[in-house]
Structure 1
Amino acid sequence: MKQRRFRTTAIFAGVILAGCAIGGCAAAPSGAPTSDPRTVSPPASDAGTTPASPSPSTSSAPTGRWRVADGIRTITEGLAAPWAVAALPDGALAVSERDSGVIRVVGTDGSLSELGRIAGVVSGGESGLHGLAVLEEGGRQWLYAYHGTADDNRVVRATVDSTADGWRLGAVETVVTGIPRANTHNGGRIAFGPDGMLYIATGDAQNVGAAQDPAQLGGKILRVTPDGRPAPGNPFGTAVYSLGHRNVQGLAWTVDGALWASEFGQNTWDELNRIIAGGNYGWPDVEGRAGDDQFLDPVTVWPTAEASPSGIAAVGETVFMTGLRGERLWAIDVSDTGTAGEPVVVLEGYGRLRDAVATGDAGLWVLTNNTDGRGDPREGDDLLLRVPLGPVG
């Protein structure tokens, strides 16, 4: 059974951290790019603020279909169980490491340093430090992170400043609490949409009944304001945006503004779904395509042995989806006249792939994730790749 930015610079991901473990800093690289509303806790300051418009310029956004081009290179190595990558304002990158709760900074020269360790991260199984997202608001840079604690999953944030002495993180603020946590099915991806709202992918946390219950946060895609309040216009008047999900780990928007999500299946089908407000994607009643009007069917599906999808990126009218068990990167044409039912393998040979993020200049950052899932974890086994893209046709 199953079923079922942000920087205005173009990255739908970001970071947050426990102020350099609540106060430290990492050296700035040289040359450095129906949830119950009562469970949603706004941060101590700036409650009710209105976000700066994050919408990228439509005139500069890539259009059309894209493919992987020649020139793939390794930006850095030595990562341990990395989960998400996000762009910092000066061209450096932030990478979350799931098991340690550490945020790494990758300089434009490939140098690797520690930005901070988020206090309160409790790892185990698939839980730990997960998604990252960056927001520019009121002249400040906010870094957001999704992570597991002993009792729940939550989203936190802090300001980040680039100083002469390096990156410095402000005090951590809680944004959303009460997302169910378990050994598996924790969701974890966060991203700011073109509307300036924060989207949060959650898992059912091994409670399959939660996915169909609009009063629970598990098995959902949530949509909240930057300070953690249910976003205006949500279909249930709460934080819930869509329901009937098993374990969503990828969120991205194509150039037409459509939201896409990758989802782990149980035993049979993994999915790529087009997400609409109030949509019910079927889990646990359906895995894969239901052909039932009460549920929304995925745009395309994969046998679980071929995919086990995590992060996704969208460029123009192409969605790029990473595969863990499948150990490959898929390209899916989601244009109106495209072949959405026929995903194409465009990258393999690097092992398990955890995240893909559009660079904003016709490329992707791709994270490998071989440190976990191998029986004998290998510290520092993982890479951050720069994958060039080229137009199709």
Structure 2
Amino acid sequence: MTRRIRVGAIVVALVAGAISTAGPVQAADTLLSQGKPVTASSAGGCCPAPAAVDGDSATRWASAAGVDPQWIYVDLGATAHVSRVRLQWDASCATAYEIDTSADHATWTRIYSTTTGKGGVEDLTSLDGTGRYVRVYGTKRCRTDASKGYSLQEFGVYGSTGDVVPPSPPGTPTLDSVTPTSATISWTAATDDKGVAGYDVYRDGQLCASTTGALTATCGNLSPNGTYGFYVNARDAAGNVSQASGTLSVKTPPSDDHTPPSVPANVHTTAVNSTSIGLAWTASIDENGVTGYRIFDSGTQIGTSDTASTTLGGLTPNTAYHLQVRAVDGNGNQSDPSTPVLDVTTTGGSSCSPSQGVCGATQVGTDDDVVWGLVTLPDGTILYNQRDAHSIVHLNPKTGAKKTIGTVPNVQSTDGEGGLTGLEINPASFASDHWLYIMHTSPNDNRIVRIKYDPAADSLTTSTEQILLTGIARNKFHNGGRLRFSPDGRYLFAGTGDAQNGANASNTSSPNGKVLRINPDGSIPADNPFHNAVWSYGHRNVQGLAFDSQGRLWEQEFGNSVMDETNLIVKGGNYGWPSCEGTSGSCGTAGFIAPKKTYPVAQGSCSGITIIHDALYVACQRGTRLYRAVISGSSLTNFQTFFNGTYGRLRTVEPAPDGQMWLATSVDGDKDSTPHNSHNKILRVTVG
């Protein structure tokens, strides 16, 4: 059912859904609304609007009869954090209504909605809203005959009026000094109604320095000849975090190390089959340390490795390769190539055994924007999201033909990782309902919507948009974005980021830093563990979700600077962030669930995951590789690495027809919001 919020003179369509519903009453709630000024859309002579906040259930507010929608809002007198609303209805209750907050009683943000209101006393707890004004907005009456309206005996708003307003964004940083391994930056102060308590400095989404008020900081552990993006968030004493400053791009100079590593020796094969070659060699040495190796075929780089061995995947059967290896140090000095050239010919045949894991990759398309969410339609063609252009593209992988089918409304990027992210279809109903489920950043939040796809016109019907879930905080980075339906189509799961405020992840009333679970219409399943959309918590930035053959949900999330993690998600589980990053930090705390696998950030920064024949595939960006692991019981075994450096940064993997896999790269332009400045490939990968 579609409903509407009025924003000034503009009417915006919304759909039933909520981030929370009834649950245990929180003792810390304070009644804020009693005796405060109220305004209503209409009122009968017997029953004026102030009667709804007078503390007397014998009096009531009654709206005009036979008219939908109707509304009433209370002025709390100051900005408040709203955590609970208690409604006591007369017989003329609301079947469909929402609770909204506003700073100015003109623009409203929904914090709760339902299409199954039953009247009586409805105590809505675990809400998470901020505003001076709180509104009940009814769109369908319990008693639908023309002589009846809405009748509300008590409208109680609970929460706190402490510091609930975040600081303003700090000024864009400027560069004070830079060395090959560090950068010192400064910025202008943020403002806050209660005072700024400190600043957090991020390097491409990773926290690298914090201050308690100083307007300058140094970030170390950089690499010579590297390019980094620095920005700053402000925080106040109450833990409110600002939106990010602008980004300062810094390129570190080369170091005075100009001596290349020694030449790799004894390059030899460890395995050869139709589509892959295993290589190993004697490690090089360097006075400042070897940082990696590059593998070449006839002078063209086809892979990289962090160690003195690798597997080159996606090769062509019965083909000769002429392989050499070079070592690289932290200043980018590259050794001479290994000698002599290693001539290796892959075996014949086109079969792909389970032991090979990944056999080949064929390019089926390209795109100049960030390819994020991707789904396969029943006819075998693909729809995918362009994150920065905010459009959805239809690709025929057999012909390479593609068409932009529409632009998703109300999307706003963040000069970082926000924009048009998740895309999903319901496997149980898409053939009949044609809903596309979409996650994106808006000007105010991250949200989940659904819009119908018209197969006949091959277009997005934006007039059908229904907003399912709002109020997921946004920031420059850490916006999450992955969507995944349960195999039976009953529930939609979403991965969210902590919006660069770790406290969000451990707060079960916040939808940030979570795996969320909602019904397809946006309503909250009755068995959710916290009576809101939260399914699991303690996550930093979730960008991968996939179900195995047992119906279990696996999750992939970004670490900060130590390790990424793969988790097996359980209902109500706490995965430890911000106290624990992977297995680093205070991970022994009772109740924390340990990851099933961790990855050093330099070898990971992994985004999308998929599961095919109970093998987990993990696409990594900074690590520029694809991991494969076999799911055995509740463990991940037989780890293999593919495409290490072959295609650059990898973002999205999804099942393809015939047990194969789609893989989308994320090369260039994926840390800004500039449309059409990427160089990406979409590949069909043959898996064992």
* Interval of TM-score (by shorter of Structure 1 and Structure 2): 0.7 to 0.9
Does residue 1:387 correspond to 2:685, yes or no?
Answer: yes
Aligned to 2:601: 304
Matched AA of 1:161:
D
Deviation at 1:36, TM superposition (A): 3.1
Q: Is residue 655 of structure 2 the alignment partner of residue 358 of structure 1?
A: yes
Distance 1:375 1:226 in 2: 31
1:70 aligned partner? 359
What is the Cα deviation at residue 207 of structure 1? 1.2
**Residue aligning to 1:175:** 468
Are 2:537 and 1:243 aligned?
yes
The alpha carbon displacement at 1:212 in A equals 0.7
**1:98: which partner in 2?**
387
When residues 375 and 105 of structure 1 are mapped into structure 2, their CA distance, relative to the original with a 3 A threshold, is: closer
CA deviation after TM superposition for structure 1 residue 379, in Å: 2.7
**Per-residue CA distance 1:138-190 (angstroms, 9 max, x = gap):** 82111011000111000111121211x43452521111111110001000001
Cα distance in 1 for residues equivalent to 2:458 and 2:404: 11
Q: Tell me which protein shows more strand as a share of its residues.
A: 2
Would the alpha carbon gap of residues 72 and 210 (structure 1) be closer, same or farther in structure 2, given more than 3 Å must change?
A: same
For 1:374 and 1:181, the matched residues in 2 are separated by 15
Cα distance, 1:114 vs structure 2:
0.2
Using the TM superposition, give the Cα deviation of residue 67 of structure 1 relative to its aligned residue in structure 2, in angstroms.
5.1
CA contact (8 A) 1:363 1:388 kept: yes
TM-score (norm 2): 0.47
User: 2:231 aligned with 1:231, yes or no?
Assistant: no
8 Å Cα contact 2:388-2:413 kept in structure 1:
yes
1:149 corresponds to which of 422, 437, 442:
442
1:83 aligns with 2:372: yes
Residue 78 (structure 1) shift: 2.7
Task: String of CA shifts for 1:320-375, please: whole Å, max 9, x gaps.
Answer: 0010111111012221296x266321223101111000114221101101132478
Q: Bigger CA drift: 130-139 or 248-257?
A: 130-139
| Larger Rg belongs to | 2
Is the counterpart of residue 347 in structure 1 residue 347 in structure 2? Answer: no
Q: Among 11, 36, 45, which residue is 2:20 paired with? A: 36
Q: Which residue of 1 aligns with 2:552?
A: 258
Alignment correspondent of 1:283? 577
* Counterparts in 2 of 1:104 and 1:137: CA distance versus 1, 3 Å: closer
Shift of 1:90: 2.2
Deviations 1:18-76, CA, capped at 9 Å, x for gaps: xxxxxxxxxxxxxxxx9534635579xxx9xxxxxxxxxxxxxxxx9675443310010
Residues 167, 151 of structure 1: alpha-carbon distance in 2 compared, 3 angstrom cutoff: closer
Give distance in 1, aligned partners of 2:542 and 2:367. Answer: 27
Please give the secondary structure, in 1, of the residue aligned with 2:581: coil
Show the 5 A alignment for 1:265-276: 265-276=559-570
Alpha-carbon distance between aligned partners in 2 of 1:65 and 1:357, rounded to the nearest angstrom: 18
Among 316, 320, 324, the alignment partner of 2:617 is 320
Q: Distance in 2 between matches of 1:40 and 1:77?
A: 41
1:128 to 403, 413, 419: 419
Deviations 1:255-302 (A, max 9, x none): 121110001001101000000000000000111122443100000100
Does residue 189 (structure 1) correspond to residue 482 (structure 2)? The answer is yes
- Structure-1 residue corresponding to 2:458: 166
Question: 1:342, 1:40 → 2: CA distance?
Answer: 45
**Sequence identity percentage:** 35
Q: Indicate the SS of the match to 2:504.
A: helix
Deviates more, 1:230-239 or 1:302-311: 230-239
CA contact (8 A) 1:324 1:352 kept: yes
Distance 1:161 1:85 in 2: 17
Task: Give the match's secondary structure for 2:626.
Answer: strand
Count of residue correspondences: 336
Kindly indicate whether the alpha-carbon contact (under 8 Å) linking 2:670 and 2:678 is maintained by their aligned counterparts in 1.
no
Q: Retained in 2: the 8 A contact 1:103–1:115?
A: yes
In the superposition, relative to structure 1, how do residues 363 and 66 fare at CA in structure 2: closer, same or farther (>3 Å)?
farther
1:231 is displaced (CA, Å) by 1.8
Distance 1:337 1:119, change over 3 A: closer
- Are the counterparts in 1 of residues 373 and 424 from structure 2 also a CA contact under 8 Å? no
The answer to which of 289-298 and 301-310 deviates more is 289-298
Call closer, same or farther: CA 1:376–1:285 in 2, change over 3 Å. closer
Q: How far apart, CA to CA, are the structure 2 residues paired with 1:242 and 1:207?
A: 17
Return 5+ residue gaps in structure 2 as ranges: 1-17, 22-98, 100-110, 116-139, 141-352
Q: Please name the residue that 1:11 is paired with.
A: none
Q: Which amino acid is 1:194 matched to? A: P
Distance 1:374 1:123 in 2: 11
1:370 partner letter: V
Residue 245 of structure 1 aligns to which amino acid in structure 2? H
Q: Distance in 2 between matches of 1:201 and 1:69?
A: 27
What is the Cα-based RMSD across aligned positions, in Å? 2.5
Shift of 1:221: 0.5
Give yes or no for the alignment of 1:213 onto 2:504.
no
Label 1:40 to 1:189 Cα distance change in 2 as closer, same or farther (>3 A). Answer: farther
Match of residue 293 from structure 1: 590
- C-alpha distance in structure 1 between counterparts of 2:375 and 2:642, whole Å: 22
Structure 1 match to 2:396: 107
What residue is the counterpart of 2:516 in the other structure? 222
Q: Structure 1's 142 and 284: CA in aligned 2 closer, same or farther, altered over 3 A?
A: same
Unaligned runs of 5+ in 1: 1-33, 48-63
- How far apart are the structure 1 equivalents of 2:537 and 2:460? 37
| 1:233-272 deviations in Å (ceiling 9; x for gaps) | 2112221100000000000011121110001001101000
Partner residue of 2:406? 116
Looking at structure 2, the residues matched to 204 and 337 of structure 1 have their Cα atoms a distance apart, in angstroms, of: 27
Q: Which amino acid letter does the alignment assign opposite residue 506 of structure 2?
A: Q
Amino acid of the structure 2 residue aligned with 1:288? G
Q: 1-side partners of 2:449 and 2:673: how far apart?
A: 31
| Cα distance change, pair 316–341 in 1 and its aligned pair in 2 (3 A) | closer
Q: Distance in 2 between matches of 1:312 and 1:66?
A: 20
Report if the CA contact (8 A) 1:318-1:335 is conserved: no
Shift of 1:91: 1.9
Q: Which has the higher contact order (CA 8 A, sep 6+)?
A: 1
> 2: CA distance between counterparts of 1:98 and 1:161?
21
When residues 365 and 137 of structure 1 are mapped into structure 2, their CA distance, relative to the original with a 3 A threshold, is closer
